Amino acid sequence: MKSYLKEFGVILLGAFILCTPVFFNGYPFLCFDSGTYIRSGFLGSVSIDRPLAYGLFVRHSSMAFSLWFTIYAQCIMLSGVLYILLKNNITKSDKFNFSYLTILIVLTCFSSIGWCAGQIMADIFTPIFILSFICFLLVEKLTVVNVVFLAFAFMLGCATHFTHLLMAFVASVILLVSYLLFKNKIKLRVLSLKRVLIVLLFTVISLFICLTINYTYKEGGGFRLSKGGACFFNGTFYPNRNNGRILERKL
């Protein structure tokens, strides 16, 4: 129990480090799409071009009080998946926690990780979902707590962006086919059929989460992934960006 509390404390401290750019700014970073996500979450309005999951995440993580809570929740999730991944690679170090926090300080100072994590945007779940995917496949020893946390991060990451859902499904299928074809030719130390199937299962669950959310809300368009259908995606092929907006207004 003490070890879990210690690890959780380090993850919280790592999240605090990731929040440094936001503290310097004085408020969570906002962009053009931030208002759409906030509005969709609090009004339960399903947008034509994006899932409602991130809007609901903003609504509940902020507790309808402050977006600071949402930012810290995002940083905790990013800090957690990084901790699990790095611990597997630096597990022999007696000073892993110190090394981990040092790595986060370097990343925060010399990369855009803190700026992305401090923004009200679903894009932060791209690294969270990818790192969770990698942890499921390659981390040799995962505790029950690790699995539950990674499953939540992975499925939320898939549900917050259509691209993430497609990436996870395609990658899972490719890994499954590759494993079945080359398992006798390539010796894999960690990757197993069980792990690939688990990731594929979580991807399917994420898909049903998106479908269920759209079905639950009146404006969701029923039990389907996007109420925009193919029109929104076809609109992106036009040279003028306004054509996509025209299609949206027609729908």
pLDDT, tens digit, 9 for 90 and up, residues 93-105:
668 888 899 999 9
Flag whether pLDDT at 119 surpasses 80: yes
Average pLDDT (142-160) is 92
Model pLDDT, residue 153: 95
Asked if residue 227 lies in contact with residue 180, where contact means CB atoms within 8 angstroms, the answer is: no
Asked if residue 117 lies in contact with residue 75, where contact means CB atoms within 8 angstroms, the answer is: yes
Flag whether pLDDT at 67 surpasses 90: yes
HSE-CB at 73 with a 13 A cutoff on CA atoms is 20
- Give the residue among 122, 117, 163 at the shortest CA–CA distance from 40: 122
Flag whether pLDDT at 192 surpasses 50: yes
Flag whether pLDDT at 233 surpasses 50: no
Flag whether pLDDT at 110 surpasses 70: yes
Q: Which of 46-60, 178-192, 198-212 has the lowest mean pLDDT?
A: 178-192
Average pLDDT (188-196) is 73
- Give dist(CA 168, CA 158) in Å, integer: 7
Give the tokens for residue 80: 């957690």
- Give the residue among 157, 162, 167, 169 at the shortest CA–CA distance from 57: 157
At 134, is the pLDDT very low, low, confident or very high (cuts 50, 70, 90)? very high
Q: What is the pLDDT of residues 5-31, one digit of tens each?
A: 888 899 999 999 999 999 999 999 998
Asked if residue 52 lies in contact with residue 44, where contact means CB atoms within 8 angstroms, the answer is: yes
At 115, is the pLDDT very low, low, confident or very high (cuts 50, 70, 90)? very high
For residue 117, the surrounding DSSP H or E stretch is helix 113-117
Give the tokens for residue 55: 């809007």
Give the tokens for residue 244: 């996509």
- Give dist(CA 50, CA 143) in Å, integer: 33
Model pLDDT, residue 87: 87
